[in-house]
Structure formats: structure tokens, C-alpha cells
Chains A and B, each alone.
Chain A
């Protein structure tokens, strides 16, 4: 563990990313306390520019709502969607990949055709169709994102499992008479964990981007103030109130950037043999 931290810290970008992410998380947690009234509350004249009114440092939107409060509450939504949809995607992708890689043959073939099938449909288009069917609520946005983002997990896990299943410690476990389930869960998956963790951190970033894109197109949950929603809502007034689109975009950019930096740091720390900047 200490080793891990030393290696992670060596990547300066990763540390910066961690700091940014910590700020975002803190904002998400603190939002309900700093801005106890709903971010939907109309508090002042519409289209108040930033830095013109005390108490409203970032101004107001088309209905006179506090932009800063919106951004703060949006942090929570973005992180929630990013994390939960990644967990769901892992819950689909890891078993599919593990089974395919472990049992090879027919099972592998069937599962991989299934995965390929999902990769052939343009993922963004599929997400849109899914939301047209289910009608966007937070739950379905998360499900739709998970459905379009699990195939890479399955492929990665399959590859790892394929290479691990022939290792000695697996053979030893087989000889001990352990069942397949136990071998997969106890021996193979823990060893496949590092690359999965790295991929997961990048998936959270992608999920945040995807959620914001969907919200931008009006396919987000209308009861939730998310960053993508804020940009989409401000799009038509971009000429008169550009900051309304600019600010939430910066928030997304920083968060996603932070997650990517952390992903790289994790990669350095967990898979030292793969990429080392310092070589």
C-alpha cells in the first residue's frame, strides 16, 4: 500500500487530479448546506451577469436562478451518475468477461458475440433510443449509460482472465478441488483487479461526459440540476449570456480532467510494468 502511494505520488498530474476531485467531492457534499434552498428557486432578475450582485457571484439564469447553487448541486449529480453507472457497467461487464475468459470455447464465443453486438450499435445513438423508450429519469439515465459502456470491461476482463487461467496458482487451486466459482472469485479476479480499477476510473470520466451530452440534448432527468442540463438550457441564449454555458462546461472539463489524471496515476501505480513516464 505504501508502495502504491509512493508510485502514485510520483505522477504530479495524478496528485493535481486528486486535489481537483477532492474539491468537487467536497462541493457535492457541502452543497445542501451552503445552498440549502433548492437550486431551482427563482431568486433574482433573470440573466444577471456574474460579479454584479452580492450573494450571487456567478449571476442568474433564464429564470433568475442562482448559477453558483446550480453548479454546486450539479457536482453531486455528475459524481453520482458517474460512479453508479460505472458500478452497474462493471456488474455486467466483469461477469461476462470472466465467464468468457474462464470457460473459453462455446461460452466464450456466445458471450463475445453478444458483446460484439453491443459494440456494433453506435453507443450514443443506443443511449438516446433507450432514453426515448424509458423516458429520462435519473435511474434510467444511469442504466442507459451502463448499458452502452460495459462492453470494453467485458473485453478487458476476458483478456486478463484468459492469461491468468493458465497460471500455476490457478492450476494449483484446481488440483485442490476448488469449484469454478471459487477459483474465479478468489484467485483470478483479484489478480485481474489493477487494470479494471484503472479502466473504471476512466469510465467514471466517460460517464460524466455522456450524462452531460444526454442532458444537453434534453434527455436528462428534468428534476435534477445537472451541468449538462445547464449548458443545454443556456444554449439558446449563448449570444446574450455566454457565461451560462461557459461555467458548467468548465466544471465538467475540470472534473473529467481530474479523473483522467487520476486514472493515469493509478495506471502508473498499479501496473508499473506497463507505462512509466520516468523511464
Chain B
């Protein structure tokens, strides 16, 4: 069975239509969850609004549990899914740069696109900045090359690198996430409310 398009169950011509539909749903969900507001997004770093963390962790949990169940029931082959490759220092340094960018800009690329769609000027500037950033990276590729393609560990999953059963990992991850949800609610109640529109 799945994934459907790589296994030719649905023909490749459909893939662009499906892409638009998936994007439509993605944009709708992000916008409706409030991800088009940079002040709401930045709230996660200052403890006045944890919607990012809640949406993010819930989505990760639902998807990973769902995918594992579908794999178990034979609808989806877990091993044939695309696994984001691990470039250790690329992930750490890139993530660190993105973290600063997140606090400074208040968006991440997906959410900035949503904000552009509803007419936020700061988001348009942010997207322009991303384009410039990509341009800078491409022009200085020889400088970034060692980090970009060094420390390659392959398309590994945590199952490979930690040697832990995926099921146990997901179980522990769920507990961590639920504790995180409870803790952030307590933090949010203690912090003074910030109003924005």
C-alpha cells in the first residue's frame, strides 16, 4: 500500500493537484490556529502564549502515532517514507541560526506565507529576507559547504541512532509532551497577559 504516489497507485499527474490541496489545508490550519500573528508566535519564547508549542507537539504526536499505527496495520510502509537526512552540525548550526531568526522575525517560513496571504507587511518583509538569505547561502556555498554536507549520518531515524524501539520512544515522547502542556499552562497563568491584535 502507501505511500500512494511513489508506489504508482495514484498516477504522478495527480501529484500537483494533491500538492495544492495539501497546501490549502496546511495554510488553512496554520492560519486558523493563529500562526499568522507574529506576536502570538513569539509568545512561546516569552511565556504569554504557547500556541506554537501546543500545535507543534500535538501535530508531531498525532502524526507519529498515526503513522506507526498505519505501518502496523500495513497501510503505509514506514521504511519507504522519506526520512530527513541527518547532517549533525548542519542541523545544529542551521537550527541555531533559525532560532535567532525566529525570535527576531517572529515567523517561520510556513507561517510567514500565511501571514503574507492575509496582508501582513512585516511578513512580506520577512519572506523577502528569506529569499535574500537563501541567495546569500547559495552565493557563499563554498564557505558553507563543510557544514552543509559534512558530518553526514545518512537518513537515520532515532530508532537507528538511539537503538530504542519506536513504540517506546513515542510513549515516552507522549508523556513528555503532556507534561509540557501542563507546565506551559501553569507558566502562562503566572505571566501577565499581553494583548495584541
| A-B complex is real | no
Chain A residues within CB distance 8 Å of chain B: none
